[in-house]
Structure 1
Amino acid sequence: MRQKSNLHMPQILPSNHIGTEAGSASQPFIQRGTPAYRRASLALFAAGLATFTILYCVQPLFPLFTAQFHVSPVMASLSLSLTTILLAITLPIAGIVSDAIGRKSVMTISLVVSAICCILTALAPDFAVLLVIRATQGIVLAGVPAVAMAYLSEEVESMSLGFAMGLYISGNTIGGLFGRIVVGMITDISTWRIAIIVLGAVSLLAFFYFWRSLPSSRHFQRVSITPKHLLAGFGRQFRDPGIICLFLMGALLMGGFVTLYNYLGYRLMAHPYDLSESIVGWIFIVYLVGTFSSSWMGRKADTVGRRKILFISVGIMLMGVLITLTHSIVLIILGVAVFTFGFFGGHSTASSWVGRRAVSGRGQASSLYLFFYYVGSSLGGSAGGLFWSHFQWAGIVAMISGLLVLALIVAGVLSGIPPMTKPRQ
């Protein structure tokens, strides 16, 4: 086999220069059923819960922000979209930093600082200051999602990876659910500011558990950071058309997903439903199907194939969003549940696939996937406000359906691309 030039490869520092997170390829990977697997899974579950509690806790408050701060639905959505766009921009940087100083270190700093920022959000005197704090949160939150996928891809044995990734994403779904429900319930009996403070305190507890429980890296190798190495590393990821398709898949799926949840509250709090903040928050209980879907579909992807699971997941999402066109509240919730099931199955499959296709720079590959994922969230979430303002719910469904049709096309292209030639063993 021809030897590849290392001209553009990051420099791996010698063992006497790498910290406690540095590992060795000779050490075993974490396998499902072992104590290390359980500790890693629960620690990352807690990290995902805290991260996505903080990220999405403002989503049910959009109608309240519109009324209290006298801003439009599009402006109200910026309290989430601005956070996610800065999260997307920061993700590659967080991935690069983690390649240099270690996975656990970056995630630990991200969790504690973002929890403090969450508490500060509750003290914002006006909407402009709130947006500044939420923007800061977007920057510091990037440390967990950018690095968690790389940590799992490096440390978990290949046949256990899909399930482990699904468990981490389950923490994300529980966090999104927990934040929305708690905000709705506490806001109904007190204020949204008290609700945000409570979530900040819970996130601090999650940080402490993560810090104490996550096993140190065994296979991480610290690399030097130079502009030349960084550009070469990012360039390598875009040489694989399969990874490019996965990046686009993440953007399209998340763009549709966040659009539906951003404007569901506007629909259900208006006539003829007239639901309260608390009731709308409890509707997010359908996130639980995502908790099941991410791990179950991740396991299926390990056995029946990722290409097939991606097609099935997108098809389920499309069916679910079309069901929400009905005027029956029961069928609307059913449609949202079906849509959510498909989304988390697709996201779990695509995200674990990125880690397997990337033969080097997994931190960069994972962060680039999430960069596109959250760009899709920001653009889709804000564009959805225009569709809602002009066409109401029918416009939201049309927009999401268009994104999912594009996702099916991308999945078809991906199916024609052969697997990478050097999979991780």
Structure 2
Amino acid sequence: MRLSHLLICSLLIFFVLYAPQPLLSLFADQFAVSPAIAGSLMTATMIPLAIAPLIYGLLLAKRNPLTILRYAMLVLALTCIAFAYAPSFELLLLLRFLQGLTLPAALTAMTTYIGSRYQADNLQRNMTLYIGSTIAGGYFGRVLAAVFADLWAWQSFYFIIAAGLTGLALCIPRNQAQLVSNPLSPLSYIKQLADAAVLKLYGAVFCMFFCFAALLNYLPFILQDTFLITNTRDIGLVYSGYLIGALASIATPWLLRKSHSPWYLLCAIFTLYSVTLVALMSSQLAVFLLAFTGFCGAMFIIHSTAAPLVNKISSAPASVTNGAYVSFYYSGGALGSFVPGMVYQQFGHIAFIVSLLFVCLCGLALVSSGYLAGKKTTLG
């Protein structure tokens, strides 16, 4: 399978994951639910995303990841069509949960394919390209969903996603050799992940995405309540800071060459992540947007550094390593997409950001500990 084909598949798959996010306030009004309940549309997807990838990682150790990817994309296409016709909020939640069960199969299959097929510098470069495609998918999925909702109907965007997923899935090659390792017992695979450095990195990724999912999930409500921005198209355009910040991920290989080690770079960027959260407490729109751009850029650099690093330091097969990575990543997203929303409802914008800052500092403590723990991990 060509890498370009896989990257386009990734783009459409992330459309499915993030398209509802800028529409949460619209869904809250349309179905007469609170912001926290509307935010549960993301939580309903993040919960299975947090649990299923490790299980899929164990299964993918014995299966062709491209076959899994093809069927997962076809299932996602069907759920998109059903989502567009759903008459109730409860059915939307159910369909989002089904998407959450399917998405980790696709995500783990893609990272497994890259982790198994490429090594050393090629692994770093192609994993960075994959992460770039997820960033683009997250951005364009949000913005296009908002634009379609404003100009036509939000359902029309879901029909386009479904058509694209179906076409791409049918073009995935069927006769490519399987990229699988010699099968061991599930317990043996899990034991291979029980390394202090690997677990610290997973914990830091959990904290990173907890903060990111929380801010982006409740961004439409902050823009409405604090800055009086109510139009879905304008809310979608605010996510431009997401794309501008994403360009920072392109610089990750260069930053790694200039850093003492990946752990050192992670410490520096987690510090920047914390600083941008402090700036996001501002009630001035220009400061908030600038901080939001920096926040997104920091997150993408952390992600682009951590994903290849865990593949290098883990002794487990690529499918298991990446399955666990995706599990920790979306565990943070599942909690971040709901718990901080309750803080926001009760105490407002400032308390919401303070709660995220606390979690971010926990992530900084974990990568600092990983940096100081051993020179083999730090310099290797």
Partner of 2:255: 300
| Native 8 Å contact 1:321 1:401 kept in 2 | yes
1:109-258 map, 5 Å: 109-208=71-170, 211=172, 216=176, 220-224=179-183, 229-238=185-194, 240-258=195-213
1:60-71 map, 5 Å: 60-71=22-33
- Displacement after TM superposition at 1:217 (Å): 5.6
Deviations 1:269-305 (A, max 9, x none): 2364233101101111222234322332145325632
Partner of 1:368: 324
Deviations 1:185-222 (A, max 9, x none): 1111222222322333233344355x15x99468x334
Shift of the 89–124 alpha-carbon distance from structure 1 to 2, 3 Å rule, reads: same
CA distance in 1, matches of 2:258, 2:74: 37
Q: Which amino acid aligns with 1:391?
A: F
2:85 match: secondary structure: coil
Q: Structure 1 length normalisation: TM-score?
A: 0.83
Shift of the 232–271 alpha-carbon distance from structure 1 to 2, 3 Å rule, reads: closer
Q: 1:391 is matched with which residue: 347, 361, 377? A: 347
Partner of 1:25: none
1:407 aligned to 2:363?
yes
CA distance in 2, matches of 1:112, 1:419: 45
CA distance in 1, matches of 2:112, 2:86: 35
Structure number having the greater helix percentage: 2
1:327 aligned to 2:283?
yes
Shift of the 271–316 alpha-carbon distance from structure 1 to 2, 3 Å rule, reads: closer
Partner of 1:311: 267
CA distance in 1, matches of 2:113, 2:244: 25
| Native 8 Å contact 1:124 1:130 kept in 2 | yes
| Native 8 Å contact 1:310 1:349 kept in 2 | yes
Q: 1:262 is matched with which residue: 196, 199, 217? A: 217
| Native 8 Å contact 1:246 1:354 kept in 2 | yes
Partner of 1:276: 231
Shift of the 285–199 alpha-carbon distance from structure 1 to 2, 3 Å rule, reads: farther
**Percent identity over the alignment?**
23
| Native 8 Å contact 1:287 1:337 kept in 2 | yes
Partner of 2:63: 101
Q: Which amino acid aligns with 1:284?
A: Y
2:209 match: secondary structure: helix
| Native 8 Å contact 2:44 2:100 kept in 1 | yes
CA distance in 1, matches of 2:254, 2:167: 30
1:88 aligned to 2:43?
no
- Displacement after TM superposition at 1:406 (Å): 0.5
| Native 8 Å contact 1:297 1:309 kept in 2 | no
Shift of the 204–309 alpha-carbon distance from structure 1 to 2, 3 Å rule, reads: farther
Shift of the 290–145 alpha-carbon distance from structure 1 to 2, 3 Å rule, reads: farther
| Native 8 Å contact 1:91 1:370 kept in 2 | yes
| Native 8 Å contact 1:177 1:287 kept in 2 | yes
Deviations 1:47-66 (A, max 9, x none): 22112110011111111111
Q: Which moved more, 1:355-364 or 1:123-132?
A: 355-364
- Displacement after TM superposition at 1:398 (Å): 0.4
Shift of the 170–215 alpha-carbon distance from structure 1 to 2, 3 Å rule, reads: farther
CA distance in 2, matches of 1:359, 1:271: 48
Shift of the 105–317 alpha-carbon distance from structure 1 to 2, 3 Å rule, reads: same
Q: Which amino acid aligns with 1:159?
A: D
| Native 8 Å contact 2:181 2:317 kept in 1 | no
Could you tell me which runs of 5 or more consecutive residues in structure 2 were left unpaired when the two chains were aligned.
none
| Native 8 Å contact 1:173 1:290 kept in 2 | no
CA distance in 1, matches of 2:267, 2:6: 28
| Native 8 Å contact 2:60 2:109 kept in 1 | yes
- Displacement after TM superposition at 1:364 (Å): 0.8
The alignment's C-alpha RMSD in Å is: 2.2
CA distance in 1, matches of 2:343, 2:165: 34
Q: Which amino acid aligns with 1:46?
A: I
CA distance in 1, matches of 2:123, 2:361: 29
2:191 match: secondary structure: helix
| Native 8 Å contact 2:10 2:137 kept in 1 | yes
Q: Which has the higher contact order (CA 8 A, sep 6+)?
A: 2
Shift of the 266–217 alpha-carbon distance from structure 1 to 2, 3 Å rule, reads: farther
Q: Structure 2 length normalisation: TM-score?
A: 0.93
CA distance in 2, matches of 1:290, 1:53: 18
The structure whose Rg is larger is 1
Q: Which amino acid aligns with 1:65?
A: F
| Native 8 Å contact 1:81 1:379 kept in 2 | yes
CA distance in 2, matches of 1:222, 1:310: 30
CA distance in 1, matches of 2:327, 2:40: 18
CA distance in 2, matches of 1:66, 1:364: 38
2:61 match: secondary structure: helix
Partner of 2:19: 57
- Displacement after TM superposition at 1:223 (Å): 3.7
Q: Which moved more, 1:338-347 or 1:135-144?
A: 135-144
